[in-house]
Amino acid sequence: MITDKWNRPLRDIRISVIDQCNFRCTYCMPAEIFGPDFRFLEKDELLSFSEIEKTARFFSELGVEKIRLTGGEPLLRKDLHLLIKQLKNIKGIQDIALTTNAMLLPKYADNLKEAGLDRVNVSLDALEDEVFKKINGRSVSVKPVLKGIFAAKDAGLKVKINMVVKKGMNDDQIVPMAAFWKKEEIPLRFIEFMDVGSTNGWKMDQVISKDEIIQKIRDHFPLEPLEPAYFGEVAKRYRYQNSSAEIGIISSITHSFCSSCTRARISAEGKYYTCLFADKGFDLRSLLRSTASDNEIKQQIKAIWNSRTDRYSDERTEETAKNKKKIEMSYIGG
């Protein structure tokens, strides 16, 4: 196990397999920026499956236990189940997850489960069609997303729902979402609207805080807090009284959790980032395609984590959020 300058271990890696998406969510890939002429990465600019497997193996040897595949929309990457099969065979990897908008899960859920995928995190920001259509930028209704969620559940995958909450966008959906997923007994995670990337127009007055979200739900359903399930868990979890259903709040803005962050990220073009809000990453792709030995590559990965000092959410101000250039969500995932 290796640690950074703040004694935080490296336990999780999030790997973006593609920068393209079939949605244009306003807080992630706004259509006015990512329009028809936007240049996405070419195939040879993405890490190959063998390069991803090799990278994941190096990270596992340094203490990583969990992998999450992200995008863009990762299911747009052809034959993703083949990559999952490769990752499943890496010694030390205990959990493989996928973050998706669920549109393609009816087609792929069974193959993903058979390949070794453990769970999916589905992004769904509203239950009301008109609200959801505005958010996703493609006028897609909620129905196909629900179809994908239940296809994943039927395939035997663990499912969790992620809802980004933004004032004036979907804060009226907090209670309906809580009620619906409580009934289905599928965990729901509320995520404070964050200043990820430089194109989503983040402002502090658009944030619905963790405390506000909890109060809205408690007005309808009694909640009891739960202890963290593991070191570095980002969500503060609550269980509904007299129920096995639970919610969680990811509060990067109002209740920072930098002190226990154990996550590294590999972007769609193969850059290694030590923070979601970073502006620069290490070019791992070039190193993988060079004559460097496996040990040299692994030592470079280790050295970067050992020198890590990131505490962006602890230090965030409206000024830094506005002026600091950051990698876009579509390249680095969640």
Category of 185 on φ-ψ map: left (φ > 0), alpha (ψ -120 to 50) or beta: left
Per-residue pLDDT at 172 exceeds 80: yes
Average pLDDT, the chain: 95
Percentage of the chain lying above the pLDDT 70 cut: 100
Per-residue pLDDT at 112 exceeds 90: yes
How do residues 118-152 score in pLDDT, each as one tens digit?
Answer: 999 999 999 999 999 999 999 999 999 999 999 99
Gap between the Cα atoms of 66 and 63, Å rounded: 9
Per-residue pLDDT at 54 exceeds 80: yes
pLDDT tier for residue 198 given thresholds of 50, 70 and 90: confident
Please choose, from the candidates 144, 127, 137, the residue with its C-alpha nearest in 3D space to the C-alpha of residue 182: 127
Category of 93 on φ-ψ map: left (φ > 0), alpha (ψ -120 to 50) or beta: beta
Can you give the pLDDT at residue 214? 97
Per-residue pLDDT at 236 exceeds 80: yes
How do residues 62-79 score in pLDDT, each as one tens digit?
Answer: 999 999 999 999 999 999
Helix (H) or strand (E) holding 273: strand 271-273
Mean pLDDT of 281-296: 97
Per-residue pLDDT at 334 exceeds 80: no
pLDDT tier for residue 40 given thresholds of 50, 70 and 90: very high
Mean pLDDT of 105-125: 98
Q: On the CB side of 295, how many CA atoms lie within 13 Å of its CA?
A: 0
Can you give the pLDDT at residue 266? 97
Domains contained in the chain, CATH given = 12-332 (3.20.20.70)
Higher pLDDT, 25 or 333: 25
Per-residue pLDDT at 319 exceeds 90: no
Helix (H) or strand (E) holding 181: helix 174-184
pLDDT tier for residue 284 given thresholds of 50, 70 and 90: very high
Category of 7 on φ-ψ map: left (φ > 0), alpha (ψ -120 to 50) or beta: left
Per-residue pLDDT at 230 exceeds 90: no
- Relative orientation angle of helices 80-88 and 105-115, to the nearest 10 degrees: 20
Can you give the pLDDT at residue 194? 92
Per-residue pLDDT at 330 exceeds 90: no
Per-residue pLDDT at 283 exceeds 80: yes
- Whether the full predicted model's pTM is greater than 0.85, yes or no, is yes
